Amino acid sequence: MENTYALKATGINKFFHQPTEFQVLKDISFEAKKGEFLSLVGKSGSGKSTLLYVLSTMDTDYEGTLSINDESLTGKGQNELAAFRNANIGFVFQFHYLLPEFTTLDNVMLPALKLGRKSKEEIRQSALDKLELLEIKDQAHKSANKLSGGQQQRVAIARALINDPAIIMGDEPTGNLDSKNTDIVFDIFRQLAKYRGQTIIAVTHDDDFAAKSDRVLELSDGYMVA
Amino acid sequence: MTRSTNTKVAFSHLTSRVKQSIVAVLSVTFGISMYIFMNGFMTGVNDIQADLAFSSLAHIRVYNDLPEDRSDLISDDQMPSQLVNLRHPKVIQYSEGINNVDREISILGQFDGITEITSQVNMNVFFRNGSTRVSGVLNGVNAAKEDRLFGMAASMKSGNWLDLDHRSDGIILGVGLAKRLSLGMDDNVFLKTGDGITRNFKIIGLLETSLNSIDNSKAYVRINSARQLVSENQSYATDIQINLTDFENAEAMAAQMRQYTDFKVESWNEANGQLEAGNELRNYLALAVSLTILLVAGFGIYNIMNMTVNEKIREIAILKAMGFEGWDIVEIFLTQSLIIGLMGGLIGILIGGGVSTIVNNVPFNIASLETLPMAFRKSDYLSAFVFGLLTTFIAGYLPARKASLIDPVEIIRG
């Protein structure tokens, strides 16, 4: 294995055109190793979330190049990128965004059903395993809007894990959680990086959270300063 | 795999907003039932019009017309150096009526799609009862065939139409004509032709068709009796009347027949242009009204699907973030609108049929009608369903496309 980078960004520049021309990201280059736990920090408006969405492939309006698992993603079409995200990237947001009418289990199964690489029964089993990992297997058949905030966020993480993605991206994944749940989520990320070799990139405002991660990337006024 | 997932998401949207879904279904139901009702009603009216019209008019009539006008026989370029004096040019009819009617009938009767073909001997006559004298039309007919063509037996006020074939001295009068002559059943009527031949007939029936043109002026006798009145032989007739299985074919059929006969072949459209115009105009009217209703129903669905998209925009964003493609999103919303369309369509067909049945039983005692006319054609129900689905498809596609184009980043970052 000559290349151990999971993600490589080179010379990323991004502009906002509304309301006035404004450069959000200025020549950002960095690499993330396989199994590395990265925190993205910075003041609000520093561009850290913007960078995360560029890295996530959802935002394609940027200059520079981005490759994940040695696959160059710059310039690909929306549907192609959607399929790529489905297989290779898991998302955890500040808000859980579960489908409220679906059960916990159905929510977790959704990305795998879309990917369609396994049979429904295998997906079901794998979803139950992920829920067990996150210690909410007992809630599997409840509908998602009946769970507590901490439980919902864990379900969202289980959903992000279902396709065993190379990279898990979090946009303030613990932003809405109390300290107990924050610790639980952090420990889960820690384990995923350590034992499964999954790369974690999380935007956070929580200094403790950032301090405990493998590496902290700090953004200030669009520049990467650390 | 993806398909069933998309369907499942679609169902969850429908069931999470039961009220809106019901309203959407109802708007389709309304559109489709009105479409069925309007078209059924218009078709019913057209059918009644046709029935009324064809109770005296055959689909095709063959008769001996005046010969072509050749009064300008001598033109300048034919005889440039000669002076020609032509006095009193006239169009002269050398033969009257159809002299070898059996031959014509055997030729024309071979065409496919003919339900009945019969010959008539028609003439203008004077009816007399004492000093009362009324002019009218005498039709010499074959009673059984005439009945199959025009349903005469059903319009008899008294007497039996088919008796005409057995009574060479029998005559059937229109009720209006009988009233003007102050005559009733079993009375004698005195008849005088244009050539001055007179004869007595006995009234064996009275006819009431509700068409004044028939009731006030027509009388029917056996065809051979009429032939005697004009001193013609057994194979003489003035008209051949033909009915077809489908009267819409009359024009094309008449054109074919012209190649096989020297006589004038006239389809009902030629004889009665206003009838066809009326039919066509009512069809357009029904189409315009029902399409407008479907359009309104379409807007209803469009509106509700748009609301759904706005309500579920975060869900859509997250689905896209997780890797659902634009087409998956379109499919999710199209599935919803098609389910609405299918349900609305099926209920609409039932309600449309129900309303049509009720209206069909509303009393309407004008002319020969007893209730409002209504047609129940499979094709109306089928096309209502197809149009309904098409409308929901288009009305659902536009919001679905909008949903598929949203930018997940914009929605998730807020």
Strand intervals (E) in B66-225: 114-129, 132-141, 156-159, 170-174, 188-193, 198-207, 218-222
Residue A179 within any structural domain of the chain:
yes
Q: Do A116 and B2 touch (CB under 8 A)?
A: yes
Query: CATH code at A85?
Result: 3.40.50.300
Q: Which alpha helices (DSSP H) does B206-325 contain, by range?
A: 212-215, 223-229, 250-257, 268-271, 273-311, 313-321
Q: Does A106 sit within 8 Å of B324, measured CB to CB?
A: no
Q: What is the pTM of this model?
A: 0.73
Q: What pLDDT is attached to residue A104?
A: 92
To the nearest whole Å, the CA of A113 is away from the closest chain B CA by 6
| pLDDT at site A202 | 92
Q: Quote the percentage of chain A above a pLDDT of 90.
A: 27
Q: What would the pLDDT profile of A50-89 be if each residue is shown by its tens digit?
A: 999 999 888 888 899 999 988 888 888 888 888 899 999 9
Burial of residue A66, with CB atoms counted within 10 A of its CB: 0-12 exposed, 13-18 middle, 19 or more buried = buried
Q: Domain of residue A132: give its range.
A: 36-60+75-224
Residue B20's pLDDT is 85
In chain A, residues with a C-beta closer than 8 Å to the C-beta of B321 are 56, 58, 85, 91
Quick one: pLDDT at residue B141? Answer: 93
Instruction: Answer yes or no: is A68 within a domain.
Output: no
Angle between helices B326-360 and B18-53 (to 10 degrees): 50
Rg (CA), chain B: 33
Contact at 8 Å (CB) between B361 and B271? no
The pLDDT value recorded for residue A216 is: 92
Report the distance separating Cα A137 and Cα A145, nearest Å. 16
Contacts of B5 (CB under 8 A, 6+ apart): A110, A113, A114
Q: How far is CA A162 from the centre of its chain?
A: 13
What domain count does chain A have?
A: 1
Q: How many Å apart are CA A118 and CA B285, to the nearest integer?
A: 56
Determine the average pLDDT of the residues in A91-113. Answer: 88
Instruction: Give the per-residue pLDDT at B173.
Output: 93
Contact list, A114 vs chain B (CB under 8 Å): 1-2, 5, 322-324, 328
Q: In the prediction, which pLDDT does B237 show? A: 93
At B225 the pLDDT is 92
Contact B33, B348 (CB under 8 A): yes
The alpha carbon of residue A119 is apart from the nearest alpha carbon of chain B, in Å, by 9
Looking at residue A1, its pLDDT comes to 42
CB < 8 Å to B15, chain A: 101
Number of C-beta neighbours around residue B169 at 10 A? 13
User: pLDDT tens-digit profile of B192-245?
Assistant: 998 889 999 999 999 988 788 888 999 999 999 999 999 888 999 999 999 998
- Give residue-wise pLDDT tens across range B122-146: 999 999 988 889 999 999 999 999 9
pLDDT-flagged residues of chain B (< 70): 1-3, 68-79, 367, 414
Size of interface A-B (CB pairs under 8 A): 73
Q: Which of B1, B5, B325 sits opposite A83 (nearest CB)?
A: B325
Prediction ipTM score: 0.86
pLDDT tops 80 at residue A2: no
A48 part of a folded domain: yes
Q: Tell me what pLDDT residue B226 has.
A: 93
What DSSP element (H or E) covers A49?
helix A48-55
Nearest Cα of chain B lies from the Cα of A191 at a distance, in angstroms, of 22
Q: What pLDDT, on a 0 to 100 scale, did the predictor assign at position B249? A: 87
Distance from CA of A201 to the nearest CA of B (A): 16
- The owner of tokens 């919803």 is B336
